[in-house]
Amino acid sequence: MRSTRILSAADKLIEFDHVSFGYDPASTVLRDISASFQRGKVTAILGGSGCGKTTLLRLIGGVYPVRQGAVRIDGEAIDTRNAEQLYKLRRRLGMLFQFGALFTDLSVFENVAFPLREHTDLDETMIRDIVLMKLNAVGLRGAAPLRISQISGGMARRVALARAIALDPELLLYDEPFTGLDPIAMGVTANLIRKLNDATGATSLVVSHDVQECFEICDYAYIMAAPGVVIAHGRPEELNASDDPQVRQFIRGEPDGPVKFHYPAPPLAQDLGLTESR
Amino acid sequence: MSKRSTEVLVGLFVLLGIAALVFLALRAANLSSFNGADTYTLVAKFDNIGGLKVRSPVRSAGVVVGRVTSIALDPKSYQGVAKLDIDKSVQFPADSSARILTSGLLGDQYIGLEAGGDEKMFAPGDTIKSTQSAVVLESLISQFLFNKAADAGGPAAPAATAAPAPSGAKK
Amino acid sequence: MEWLAAIGRHVIDVLRSLGHHATFFWELLRTLPASLRRPSFAVAQVHALGNLSLLVILSSGLAVGFVLALQTYYALATYGAADSVGLVVNLSLVRELGPVVTALLFAGRAGTSLTAEIGLMKAGEQLSAMELMAVDPKSRVLAPRFVGGIVAMPILALLFSAIGILGAYVVAVLLIGLDPGNFWSIMESGVDVRRDLGNGIIKSIVFGVICSFVAVYQGFEARPTPEGVARATTRTVVISSLTVLAMDFVLTALMFSTR
């Protein structure tokens, strides 16, 4: 079941217009993807591993050029060879990587201060204030002097979030923010994502395979499947009520359905030698 | 902040490097001898310059007073022409002579200047008239053998004896 | 004729690799002016690559000086030229062993640490994160390390030679009993600052460029897995060492040809 959402041009912050992409000429990771992401909302991109959802984020960041179609930000197509356009684009976004991607040679404070030092001329006292406020927003102000090796994985992701919001970006990209976290940390993270989005009026894209957490915080969701296609999109309630077997299997976590449980193999009896092989 | 201590350490490191450079240049190499600032040029022509090289020393009474700056062949007289940079503080009489000598038995060759008795001194750019070429080992040996043969051969020998004279044979 | 096609493919691969190295080098050079506007990063790298290599370089230099003095003494004593030990050791160090051995040691110690560090940053997505923060990793991470290596290497080579000569002095004069005056004066008169010392410095600068570039390139191009980083560090040492030795031959032939 497809949603009949219609967005005005001004509402679409990001638009994928019949995008096809592959990391090398032989493979294709995304096939003819069309999707749009509404300004000011939290949109989830869900799917199993290998369906190409992280690739979407990388294309938005302008890391790779698309093979076909275009990725438009605010109506303007991304040209990966235009260094100035990429620079401006990346100044407007903040990305949270799956494991944080913190700079291991810097302290927690220095990590969050990094974008400020690189892109602004603010003096030290201002930088200190901003860093502490960002850390406070994620609840880690007390951890400022710690080194990266001293903090846990969950804390690392929160520091990375503080770093991602250091310059108050309009667009926040989250790559698998819930993976590997305990229920409390997951709840904290989900809460932060929603609160930040609402408080700053930013647009958030959350890539994940955790359906429950995402549905609790997102306004809209896209579901992708293995060959690199979108199989459904809509508001969480619409997707929950979907009849599509692929969507139902994914949302309910059913072990068998359109995505088979068994890896292709000859019949069991044949493997065990009980019947004559052909 | 440890940034400052890092900078201090790097400064020390660079200082150590400069110290090593100074040590190597002064104590372990020939930088301390003059470098062409207060010198004047003399020219010497030889029938055979032997193993003389550019930057070979010019000595007088064993003391280094200059360096060889260039060696070339005079296309007209087929003589070796050596240009010498001599320290300004040392003047030589216009009839001084230059010989190509060897330091030690198998060492490097240098030019030895022997002061003459003239009242007039060399002017910059002058040519040293009296020169003696390098001793060529082969001619020494052949002279020696020849003398030996002459001695053994009998009284016809005397005409053949000679002091090792400058010869044109290639070394 | 399959082997012909295989050779052809191999040649094309080599050419492509060379081209990739060249473009990378050019891009690195282009970032230098911007990255040098904040010299504190390069200074920190000079510390990491230079100061922290001092122990290895100085102890190796001392050891090489000892051994060289001993060996040349044995060789020269048969010709009654034992007093020239200082001269031979100095020339060997300043012209050849100082720049070359320092470069090999540098590749092993500093080069591998550079490659591993950058490779691990790549594996941990730190370089991608930087890129998406609109900070060029080549300018922020690679260029300071490249510059740091080029600055550190000649200094290390000079220190290697200097301490080697001192080591030779210890062996020749203090242990064997040669005359100290002769030791220094024969050395002084035989070593030319411009030709020997100067060329040695030029060599060490060239080697510094080679080792730093290879280390930084291998780290940046490493596959972001543990095996990828391990193989990259090995490649750094091997490629640096072989290139240094090859360049040494070329430079020596150019600089020290007898006229």
Q: State pLDDT tens for residues C130-153.
A: 999 999 999 999 999 999 999 999
Contact A101 C126 (CB under 8 A): yes
**Average pLDDT, stretch C199-228?**
95
Nearest to B6 among C44, C90, C158 (CB): C44
* pTM of the model as a whole: 0.80
User: What per-residue confidence (pLDDT) applies to B163?
Assistant: 45
pLDDT in tens, C147-159: 999 999 999 999 9
Q: Is the pLDDT of residue A10 over 90?
A: no
Q: What is the pLDDT of residue B105?
A: 65
Profile chain B (171 residues) by mean pLDDT over runs of 10 residues: 78 91 79 64 87 82 84 89 87 87 75 86 84 80 86 59 45 41
B39: closest CA of chain C, how far (Å): 19
Give C-chain residues touching B55 at CB under 8 angstroms. 192, 195
User: Does A1 have pLDDT greater than 70?
Assistant: no
Residue C198 near residue C247 (C-beta atoms within 8 A): no
* A12/B15: higher pLDDT: B15
Mean pLDDT of A97-117: 92
Among C38, C45, C46, pick the best mutation site for testing chain B contact (most B Cβ within 10 A). C46
**A95 chain-C contacts, CB cut-off 8 A:** 129, 132
Size of interface A-C (CB pairs under 8 A): 43
E strands present in A152-201:
171-175
- A78 contacts A85 by C-beta, under 8 angstroms: yes
Any CB–CB contact under 8 A between A64 and chain C?
no
B73 in contact with C at a CB cutoff of 8 Å? Answer: no
Average pLDDT over residues C205-227: 95
List the beta strands (DSSP E) in chain B: 39-46, 57-60, 63-73, 80-87, 97-102, 109-114, 127-128, 130-132
CA distances A127 to A91, A114, A166, Å, are 17, 10, 10
- The residues in A 220-249 lying below 8 A from C, measured between CB atoms, are none
Preferred mutation among C37, C121, C132, C138 to probe A, highest tally of A CBs within 10 A: C132
Identify which has the larger pLDDT, C195 or C111.
C111
d(CA A214, CA A223): 12
Instruction: Give C91 to chain B, closest Cα distance, Å.
Output: 10
Interface contact flag, C46 B16, Cβ < 8 Å = no
> Is B9 close to C90, i.e. CB distance below 8 A?
no
Q: Point out the residue among C120, C125, C133 whose CB comes nearest to the CB of A115.
A: C133
Least confident of A20-29, A169-178, A257-266: A257-266
Residue B155 has what pLDDT?
A: 55
CB-based burial label for C200 (10 Å; 0-12, 13-18, 19+): buried
**Residue A183: pLDDT band with limits 50, 70, 90:** confident
Quote the mean pLDDT of chain A: 87
Q: What is the pLDDT of residues C15-33, one digit of tens each?
A: 999 999 999 999 999 999 9
Chains B and C touch (3+ CB pairs under 8 A): yes
Nearest neighbour of A101 by CB, restricted to C125, C134, C140: C125
Alpha-carbon gap, residue C191 to C90, rounded angstroms? 8
- For the cut 50, the answer to whether the pLDDT of residue A66 exceeds it is yes
Predicted confidence at residue C32, as pLDDT, reads 92
pLDDT at position B164, please? Answer: 45
| Chain B: closest CA distance from residue C38 (Å) | 13
- The chain C residue lying nearest A89, using CA atoms, is C134
